[in-house]
Structure 1
Amino acid sequence: MRLSRLLPLCLAMTGCVMDPDEPVFLSGTVLEADGSPWQGGPLTLMRPRTVGEGATAYSEYEPWGEVPVAADGGYVHRLAARDTGADELPRSSPWSDVTAFQLHLPTGVDGAGDYMEFHFKRDVHLPPLRRWDSRVRLVEVAAGLRLAWEAVPPAGDIPEPRVFVRVHGATGLAWLIREGEGEPWLYPELLEDFTDGQARVQARSQGLRPWVPGPDIDTGYSVMHEAPPVPLPFTGRVPASRGADCQVEKLVVSPCPFTDGKLGAVVLPRPGNSLAKELVVRLRQPLRPARVIVRGLYNPAPEMVLHVEGSADDATWQPLGQSAPLSRGDEIPATNDFSTLGNAQHFVDVRMPPGAPMVTRVRLRLSYASTGEGQPPSGPGYFATLREVSVFAAP
C-alpha cells in the first residue's frame, strides 16, 4: 500500500503540479462472495467515452486496462498523472471525464456483475469490492409472483445499498421499482410484447471515501451489484390501447408515441410554451378498464399523484383510480445503456376497482399531494416526458 509523503504537504500549500509521468496509485481489496480473498483473476479498469452529440450525447464505459490482484485479495495499480489529469496540463482527451473510472469483477457465467465507479486524480485507496451472492429467485405467494433475494453483506464503510428491480425492452426501460416504493410483483401486463421476459435486480451503494486531510479530497464512489437475470414463467399481454390515438390538451396526436409499443422516452407534444397538464388516450372501442400502466413518467416535482379518469362521451369524466404520492425519483439504478436510463422517471400501475364504468377515453393528469389531513391537492402538475401508456380491459 502506498501513501505519498509529499501529498499532504502539497495539499496544505497553495497547490502543486505533478509531472505528467509521475505515478498515481489506485489500491484496494477484492473479496469473494464468502468474504475470502479474491481468486478470480484480474479486474478490468474502464473509462467513459462520449457517444453521440449535443443533447443526446451520453457516456459509455469501455475497457482500458487490467488490474492484477494479489493472493491476499489486495491490489496496487500504477497510473501516470497524465492519465487522471493530476498534472493539470490542458490536452485533448477521448474520455468524457478524465477523472472517471470503473473497476469490474469478471462477469459471472450466470450474468451476475459487480463493479465500482469512482472519480480520482491522485493516489486513492478504494472501499472493498465484494462479489454478491444474490440468490435471486421467484417466490409464489397468495397474491402472485414476486422476486426475492439475499441482502448485500456489509463491506467496510460502504453505506447500505438501495435495491432496484427492472424489466428491459428492446427500445428502453419497461419497468422500474425502487425498494421502499413498491413490492417487486411481476405479472403479464408488465411485460406486454416488448420486453425480453426477464427481471433484473441491482443493489447500489453510494458514498465518500476520505483519503488525506485537505479540502475536496474525498473520493466519491458507487458500488454496483447486478444479480443474474431471472426468466419469467409467463408471456406478456398486449393492452387494449395499443395503437390508439392520444390527445394532449386539445391537440390530437396520431399515431400516438405513447401507445405504439415502443419504449423510448418522448417529450409530450404541447401547444404554446407550457408543459402539458393532461394526456387522453382515445380508445378504439368501449371497454371496462381494469388497470392503467404508465411507464417512464418524468416530472421532477416531489409528491405528485397520478389520477386516472374515464369518459364515455368525451365530456363527462369519472375518477377511475389514482397512484400513491410519487417521490422525486432521484435514486436510479446504474446502467451503461442510455436507453434504459431511468433518471427521475416513474413506472406506475393504477388498478381500477371492480365494476369500473365502460369508457371510450382514459385521461391522465397530475396533482400535488395534499399538504395535510383533509386538505385538497394544491394544484395541477405537468407532464414532461413519457415512454408508454397501456390500458388493459377487465375480462
Structure 2
Amino acid sequence: MRHLLPLSLLALLASGCERMPEDSVFLYGRLLKEDGSPQAGSLRVERALNRSFVDGQYNPEVDWNFEPYSEGDSQDSGDFTLEIVYGDTYVEDLYSYASHRFRVYPPLDADGNGVFVAFFFQDDVELPALRPWTSGLAVTSGPEGPTLSFAPAPPGPEVPPAGRQREFYDNEGNVVPRPPSTTMPVVQLHGAGALVWQQLQAASPWVPSPYVLEDFQGVEAQVRALSADEWYFEPLAAQYSSVTFRMEWRSPRVAVPPGGLTPISRGAGCSAAPVDGACPFTDGKLLPRDTLPESQQPGAGSDFGVEAVSFTLPAPARPRRLVVRALETTLGYTPRMRLVLEGSTDAVSWAPLGDFPIVNYDEKDRNRELYSYALTNDEDSPFDAPIVVFNGPLFLDAPLTGDAPVRHVRLRVTGEDGKTPGRLLKLAELSLFE
C-alpha cells in the first residue's frame, strides 16, 4: 500500500477542481540498488516538447530535445517524491495543445550501469521502481569467434498497489486489461561514432559472425533492454490520473576483438549517390545517409528515396555474403517485405543473387498497437543512441547464390508478394564478401 494514502489525499483535496497552471503535481517512486535493496541517491528530472505540432504548423524536422527541469533525492528507504508545476507539463496556443515528455533517472553507477524512465503523465502518479540491471556482459573467445554472454533481461515493472493497467476493448467488445509489455533485450555493437550492428530480441550467448565484425577497429559491445506500460490511478472521490512510460536499462560497453575481413565492395562506386565523390555506402564509416537528400528530390509531391541503389565493384567477383547495415525503407511500416540483391556484368541485364524475406513485425502482436504511444520517442535515453523498436533500421547478414562473376550489384526492396516496389530511404553500409 506504499504511497496509496498520500496519492488519495492529494487527489481528494483537488476533487471537483480543475488544475490551475500554478498548482503542483507529484511523481512518486523508489530508487533501488542492483540487488533490489533501497538506494538513497540523487535523481535528475528533464523534460522535452515535440513542437512539430505546436504553433499551428507541422514540422517533421523538429524533434524532442530534453532539457534539465529539476533535481531530487531519494530517502534511505529508496522512496522519492518529485514536485512538478502543472503549467510546466503542457503548452497550449490558439491552434494546438502539446504535452511535455518527462524523464527521471539516477546517474550511472561506478560500473556504467544505468536505468531511466521517460513518460507522459496526467496528475499525481507513481513511477516504476528505478533499479539498474546487472547484465554481467562479458566477451570471450570461442571456436566461432567472440562470444557475448549476459544475464536475462529484467522483468517488466510491476504495477503499484495504487494503480492498475489500462483496459481496452477486444474484438468482441469486452473490456479487458492490457497485457503487460514484455522486456526486449537488445545487443548493440558500437564503432567509431555509429552502430556496427544491432540485434533486437537477442539471447545469450550471442556470437556475431566474422562478416558482421568485418575489419572494423575499436568495436565495443553493449546490451540494453526496454519495456513499456500504461498505468491508471483512480483515487477515492477524485479524478483519475495516468502515466504512459518507456523504461530502459543499459550496461557498460565491453571491447570486442577486431575482425579481419575486408569486403570486396570497399570503396565501390554507387548510384544513386547522395554526395559527390566516394560512395558513402561502401566507405566503411558506418554513418547512415539519405539515399537521396531532399535537395535532390524531383520536386514537390514526389516520393522520397530511390527504388534501388546500384554498386560497381572494383573488379568482377563472385559475392558469397551480403551484410546490410541500418537500411530504412518505405516498406518498413509493413509487416513483411523482401530484400533483393541482383548482379550484372553490364548493368543492363540482372540476375538474382539473393532474395530475403524480412519480418518487420508480427501483425498479431497486440502489444505493438497498445504500447506504440508509450514508445513514441526513440530518443528518450540520456545515456545512449536511440533504440528504434517500431519501423527501425534493418541489419542483415546472409549468404548469396550465383556462380557467375559480376561487376555490378543492385539492392532494392519489394512487398511480400515480390512485386510491389518499395523505396530505399537511408543506408549506412553495404558489404559484399567472396
Query: 1:33: which partner in 2?
Result: 34
Look up the equivalent residue of 2:39 and give its one-letter code: W
- Distance change >3 Å, CA 196–CA 123, structure 1 → 2: farther
Select between 204-213 and 240-249 the one with higher mean Cα deviation.
Answer: 240-249
Q: Secondary structure of 2:233's partner?
A: coil
Matched, 1:47 2:52: no
Shift of residue 56 of structure 1? 3.5
Shift of residue 183 of structure 1? 8.6
Select between 49-58 and 68-77 the one with higher mean Cα deviation.
Answer: 49-58
Q: Secondary structure of 1:344's partner?
A: coil
Matched, 1:212 2:234: yes
Cα distance in 2, alignment partners of residues 340 and 236 from structure 1: 28
Which whole-Å deviations, capped at 9, do the CAs of 1:348-367 have from their partners, x for residues lacking one? 122225x7432111111222
Contact 2:308 2:424 (8 Å CA) reproduced: no
Look up the equivalent residue of 2:76 and give its one-letter code: A
> In structure 2, which of residues 347, 362, 365 is the aligned counterpart of residue 314 of structure 1?
347
Query: 1:174: which partner in 2?
Result: 196
> In structure 2, which of residues 43, 62, 67 is the aligned counterpart of residue 57 of structure 1?
62
Query: 1:374: which partner in 2?
Result: none
CA RMSD, Structure 1 to Structure 2 (Å):
3.8
Could you list the runs of 5+ residues in structure 2 that have no partner in the other structure? 53-57, 160-179, 363-367, 369-374
Query: 2:280: which partner in 1?
Result: 257
Look up the equivalent residue of 1:349 and give its one-letter code: D
TM-score, normalized by length of structure 1? Answer: 0.80
Contact 1:247 1:253 (8 Å CA) reproduced: no
> In structure 2, which of residues 334, 344, 365 is the aligned counterpart of residue 301 of structure 1?
334
- Distance change >3 Å, CA 292–CA 334, structure 1 → 2: farther
Select between 206-215 and 51-60 the one with higher mean Cα deviation.
Answer: 51-60
Which whole-Å deviations, capped at 9, do the CAs of 1:245-288 have from their partners, x for residues lacking one? 22349x99854332233413314467683553322111121122
Could you list the runs of 5+ residues in structure 1 that have no partner in the other structure? 370-376
- Distance change >3 Å, CA 175–CA 335, structure 1 → 2: farther
Contact 1:47 1:64 (8 Å CA) reproduced: yes
Query: 1:190: which partner in 2?
Result: 212
Contact 2:216 2:258 (8 Å CA) reproduced: no
Cα distance in 1, alignment partners of residues 150 and 393 from structure 2: 24
Shift of residue 341 of structure 1? 6.1
Aligned pairs (5 A) from 1:93-108: 99-108=100-109
> In structure 1, which of residues 324, 343, 364 is the aligned counterpart of residue 411 of structure 2?
364
Matched, 1:84 2:131: no
Look up the equivalent residue of 1:365 and give its one-letter code: R
Cα distance in 2, alignment partners of residues 360 and 216 from structure 1: 65
Cα distance in 2, alignment partners of residues 333 and 148 from structure 1: 26
Cα distance in 2, alignment partners of residues 392 and 207 from structure 1: 41
Query: 1:373: which partner in 2?
Result: none
Q: Secondary structure of 1:77's partner?
A: strand
> In structure 1, which of residues 276, 279, 290 is the aligned counterpart of residue 306 of structure 2?
276
Which whole-Å deviations, capped at 9, do the CAs of 1:33-64 have from their partners, x for residues lacking one? 1111124x212222237799954333233443
- Distance change >3 Å, CA 75–CA 216, structure 1 → 2: closer
Look up the equivalent residue of 1:314 and give its one-letter code: A
- Distance change >3 Å, CA 243–CA 271, structure 1 → 2: farther
Query: 2:55: which partner in 1?
Result: none
Q: Secondary structure of 1:119's partner?
A: strand
- Distance change >3 Å, CA 202–CA 348, structure 1 → 2: same
TM-score, normalized by length of structure 2? Answer: 0.73
Which whole-Å deviations, capped at 9, do the CAs of 1:214-270 have from their partners, x for residues lacking one? 998431011100011121012464433233222349x99854332233413314467
Query: 1:152: which partner in 2?
Result: 153
- Distance change >3 Å, CA 118–CA 9, structure 1 → 2: same
Query: 2:132: which partner in 1?
Result: 131
